[in-house]
Amino acid sequence: MSFKVLTPEQMKQADLKAQEELHISPLILMENAGKSVANEIIKRFGSRLNRMSVGIFCGKGNNGGDGLVAARYLKRKAKSVTVFIFTKEEEFSRDAAIQLKAAKRENIEIRSAQDFLKKDESFGIYIDAIFGTGFKGKMESPYLEIVEGLNNKNGFKVACDIPSGVNGETGTVENVAFRAHLTSCFAFPKTGILLFPGRYFAGEVKVFDIGIPENIVESDKIMMEGDDLTKYLPNYIGNEHKGICGKVLIVAGSKAYTGAAFFTAASAVESGAGLTYLAAPKEIAFVMQSKLNEVIILPYKNIEDLRAILHGDFDVIGCGPGLGRDENTIKTVKEILNLPHPKVIDADGLWALSNIESPSLTGCILTPHPGEATFLIPNKSAKEIDADRISVSKEIPKKYNCITVLKGAPTVTSDGNVVYFNPTGNPGMAVGGMGDVLTGILSGLLPRIKDPLGCALLATYVHGLSADLLLESETFETITPTKVLCNLNQAFGSLRKCG
């Protein structure tokens, strides 16, 4: 299921509304949060837990209270549970102090966090409940030394809601943060663990219901999951023919970039297009014909030849990869924009847009990475765009009246109103040609789906899932665009099983 994504401030408001409007006790929310952490650990380790020791590091705020609740539930299953605290009991928040007293009543060992460093102790499981979502700035002593010490330990590491040291809104880490294997997120995922580097420190993210209704808060940020996207998969009833499945024209490639044309056109075929055409410069047409058996090659020598091709019978046009950055590309994109077809524009096509005054992009899907996004938002650098993915992904569609897929980690899609986080993909995709594959998937799906936003959400998910499934037999170093392309059948098959 999809999840609303909140900033720390939005989460604070959700907590307050749950308490003030629905009269849900904060102690109940804390109990549910801590119990969810414990239950997940119990589920993962089962009977092995009675041979394992657990160290829980609790701050003085409500995040620490969550950790103290987890301590009570884990004490019933683990070999031993030790809680480490950083301040005197009278400095704890009201609710955390109540949980500290409850832990003491159950004879849970409570010790100073300094003891952990002095005695260099080790545990099988470490739980970070130090700061929570409100953390900003640099980690200071004594927390700094404790978190560094925890990161140097072996054992399974769990963060309560968000790893300590990660900015809950931006995902930034100024000096050090707890490196978790699992982050148990309460009620809603927070932006800070979906944006890098926070996402790296969070490890696996699981969201747990703690009793706050989803409709209690509005959010313009959504984390997608596979079961939400099956509704966009094309339905097949048995009497389909190639015309029904869509006629796609790919305009891509040049003498220097034959691979871009190959990946884009082949991916459109692998994504279900009934007929895929490739408009290719005459000098590479023979190469394309020899590599693309399922694609109809339409050679062109000049803009007049291409204009005649563009006015053929097509449902969708995908353009940009490998066209080159020259006057001919600008002319090509201008011609394409004059046509009524839905369009997918990537790479050099995006560069061309920056040289076209007031381009009409209604119904278009643009797929920039941060570097290409600078063509569309010239007042920001690629680094600034990458650090501000949420805002930029909304700014581009508002400016151009399109759907934008801002590629990267994480890939985010927006119609200008809502930002959708794609959960699939891995570092092995950081190689040239991956964007061309995505352009092809989008172009191949769009004739059947017809909804540009739904198509973008489905295509980005399948694209990343194909790469993720490769990790069953590949490593990050050996993932290539060719392998992602050839593995699309596994990705589509896996997604259909979710429906």
The percentage of the chain sitting over the pLDDT mark of 70, rounded to a whole number, equals 100
Q: Which residue has the tokens 């011609």?
A: 335
Question: Residue 210 has what pLDDT?
Answer: 98
Rounded CA separation 26/37 (Å): 17
> At residue 399, does pLDDT exceed 80?
yes
Question: Residue 1 has what pLDDT?
Answer: 83
* β-bridge pairing 412-414 and 247-251: unpaired
The count of C-alpha atoms lying within 13 angstroms of the C-alpha of 30, restricted to the half-sphere facing its C-beta, is 25
The stretch 23-47 carries a mean pLDDT of: 98
Residue 302 CB contacts under 8 Å (≥ 6 apart), including other chains: none
What element of type H or E holds 328? helix 327-337
* Secondary structure in 3-state letters for 396-443: HHHHHCCEEEECCCCCEEECCCCEEECCCCCHHHCCCCHHHHHHHHHH
Pair of tokens at residue 23: 């009269």
Pair of tokens at residue 487: 């593995």
Pair of tokens at residue 160: 């309560």
Termini Cα distance of the chain: 11
Read off the pLDDT of residues 193-230 as tens digits, 9 standing for 90 and up.
999 999 999 999 999 999 999 999 999 999 999 999 99
* Secondary structure in 3-state letters for 331-355: HHHHHHHCCCCCEEECCHHHHHHCC
Please state the domain extents for the chain: 3-223, 231-496
Question: Residue 493 has what pLDDT?
Answer: 97
Read off the pLDDT of residues 129-144 as tens digits, 9 standing for 90 and up.
999 998 999 999 999 9
The stretch 458-476 carries a mean pLDDT of: 98
The confidence band for 407, taking pLDDT boundaries of 50, 70 and 90, is: very high
Question: Residue 120 has what pLDDT?
Answer: 86
Q: What is the pTM of this model?
A: 0.96
Cis-peptide into 197, omega within 30 deg: yes
Question: Residue 499 has what pLDDT?
Answer: 73
What element of type H or E holds 114? helix 113-119
Question: Residue 255 has what pLDDT?
Answer: 95
> At residue 335, does pLDDT exceed 90?
yes
Closest CA to 262 of 308, 294, 304, 238: 294
Closest CA to 376 of 386, 390, 366: 366
Rounded CA separation 226/468 (Å): 13
The stretch 54-65 carries a mean pLDDT of: 98
Task: Could you please state the CATH topology (level 3) that the domain comprising 231-496 is classified under.
Answer: UDP-N-acetylmuramoyl-L-alanine:D-glutamate ligase (3.40.1190)
Q: Which residue has the tokens 């194909």?
A: 466
Q: Please give the backbone phi and psi of residue 366, each rounded to the nearest 5 degrees, phi first.
A: -105, 140
CA 428 from centre of chain: 15
The confidence band for 478, taking pLDDT boundaries of 50, 70 and 90, is: very high
Read off the pLDDT of residues 408-451 as tens digits, 9 standing for 90 and up.
999 999 999 999 999 999 999 999 999 999 999 999 999 999 99
Rounded CA separation 77/37 (Å): 13
Contact 280, 253 (CB under 8 A): yes
CB atoms within 10 A of CB 173: 21
Question: Residue 427 has what pLDDT?
Answer: 97
Rounded CA separation 386/493 (Å): 32
Rounded CA separation 178/89 (Å): 24
Q: Which residues pair with 364 in a beta bridge?
A: 343
The stretch 397-405 carries a mean pLDDT of: 97
- Residue range 3-223 forms a domain whose CATH class is alpha beta
The stretch 245-263 carries a mean pLDDT of: 97
Residue 475 CB contacts under 8 Å (≥ 6 apart), including other chains: 428
Question: Residue 351 has what pLDDT?
Answer: 98
Q: Using N-to-C axis directions, what is the helix angle for 8-20 and 26-45, rounded to 10°? A: 120
Q: Which residues pair with 206 in a beta bridge?
A: 184
